[in-house]
Structure 1
Amino acid sequence: MNELNLLPLIGIAVVVLGFALRFNPLLVVSVAGLVTGWAVDLDFFTLIETFGEKFMNARQLASFLLILPIIALSERYGLQQRAKSWVASIKSATTARILSLYFVVRECSAALGLLSLAGQPQTVRPLLAPMALGAAANLHGELPKHVKDMISAHAAACDNIAVFFGEDIFIAFGAVLLMDAFLKENGIEGIEPLHIGLWAIPTAIAALIVHLFRLARLEAKISQQMQAHTTSQTHNLSEELS
């Protein structure tokens, strides 16, 4: 009986160690691939050829990178500042209302399969988060860093949660098709992608209700933290004067 060769698994250790040390993910994965290739006795040129072949086969996965320079240029020329100033001019706009509206639109669009309609790099960072911050600043004045971080985190969460629960309704979504194939491979018949999509609707509605409730409480939380921040500043100032 041949002995089990565990040396090729060294690539997993490289990935775990690299991520634990917070190195660049692309660098960590590349090094892990090189180490794994060395462990299975691939010569250098074959290894490079394999890297190139896999990249070409999955090059469409990196197509989203094309939008990053556009977003960077837009931010450099004041996109975030424009979003903040525009929201500040709307007196009825609040952080919770902006995020709630985005959540509803994002979940509904994900249910229709329009996953690329918005997202973290192209919408949340340059538009949604600055708009939410602008609405809060319009009501409470200058925001401290911890309040800004909290609002930005809620903006990012809106996109993640809405997409996560909305995309399962779309019957052509990869995860739905994967579940359908898994059920059929294990002899479970009579379940079609349409059934999976329909059963995802109650979960999506529940996620919508829960998250809108959380966003409704966000306004009160912002007010509490701003009041505590103001009290702390006043106390510190009185101590310095005394």
Structure 2
Amino acid sequence: MSEYLVLSGILVVVIGFALKLNPLLVVTIAALATGLLGGLGLGEVISAFGAAFNDNRYISVVWIVLPVIGLLERYGLQQRARAVIEKMRGATMGRLLLLYLFFRQATAALGLTSVAGPAQTVRPLVAPMAEAAAEKTHGKLDEKTREKVLGMSAATDNVGLFFGEDIFVAIASILLIQGIFQTYGIELTPLQLSVWAIPTAICAFIIHGTRLLMFDRSIGRHGK
């Protein structure tokens, strides 16, 4: 019977979620209950919490970054980003996103995959700047065109990351590709795979860069 008491943590989770209590509090109480009923002392349970946090501390960075970005947005980060673009001569949506595509690919190729992203840069900076550049060049945007500009900003980040990170040798995708080739008896080093990722990245830059410039021009034709 005692071994089933350990499962009471599941019951705590079910009841807590049913009562719509704070999820973090519910999970914490469930973990404490499971550990104590499993025969661990309070100190051992807390130690286990500390070890898990230390082993996965990179996850907690998200909870630090997001509130900071939220505060920056609340105090006018997006408005300042738009103001900067409005003061720049020759700034167009296509050129801006093309520059960001190069930045994203270059940093990803160096292994800096987390230096930018949808939450860190696209929402607070890139998307507002792209929208401001489009309005500066083509006038007020309708809602459908505005959504396309925001979507193209996010797509630029994805393309830059996806085709840039494979150039970096010590990345999980390279190891995955190497493992798949090994199952078919093809032995390739990570360096070989990285080198051959460069032409693909160049093609991705040219293709998506062309799409960006064509989309920018299509907004101009639509405005006319």
Fold match (TM-score > 0.5): yes
Q: Report the AA paired with residue 206 of structure 1.
A: C
Please give the secondary structure, in 2, of the residue aligned with 1:116: coil
Counterpart CA distance in 1 for 2:173 and 2:116 is 19
Deviation at 1:54, TM superposition (A): 11
- Specify every segment of 5 or more residues in structure 1 that has no aligned partner in the other structure, as ranges: 1-26, 28-43, 228-242
Matched, 1:213 2:210: yes
Which residue matches 2:126? 128
Do residues 175 (structure 1) and 173 (structure 2) align?
yes
State the 4+ residue runs in structure 1 displaced beyond 3 angstroms. 52-59, 181-184
On the 8 A contact 2:139/2:223 being kept in 1, the answer is no
Please point out which of 38, 42, 45 is paired with 2:34. Answer: 45
Q: Are the equivalent residues in 2 in contact too, given 1:176–1:196 (CA < 8 A)?
A: yes
Secondary structure of the corresponding residue to residue 117 of structure 1: coil
Q: Which runs of 5+ in 2 are unaligned?
A: 1-22, 24-32, 39-48
- For 1:90-134, what per-residue CA distance to the aligned partner results, in whole angstroms no more than 9, with x for missing partners? 121000000000001110111111112211111111111111111
TM-score by length of 1: 0.68
2:158 equivalent in structure 1? 160
Q: Which moved more, 1:158-167 or 1:169-178?
A: 169-178
User: d(CA) in 1 for partners of 2:142 and 2:202?
Assistant: 34
Secondary structure, counterpart of 1:125 in structure 2: helix
Q: Percent of aligned positions with the same letter in both sequences?
A: 40
Task: Name the SS for the 1:191 alignment partner.
Answer: coil
TM-score by length of 2: 0.73
2:181–2:187 Cα contact (<8 Å) kept: no
- Bigger drift between 154-163 and 171-180 goes to 171-180
Deviates more, 1:56-65 or 1:162-171: 56-65
Cα separation, partners in 2 of 1:152 and 1:54, compared to 1, 3 Å: farther
Which residue of structure 2 aligns with residue 90 of structure 1?
Answer: 88
**What's the secondary structure of 1:188's corresponding residue?**
coil
Matches within 5 A, 1:171-210: 171-184=169-182, 186=183, 188=185, 190-210=187-207
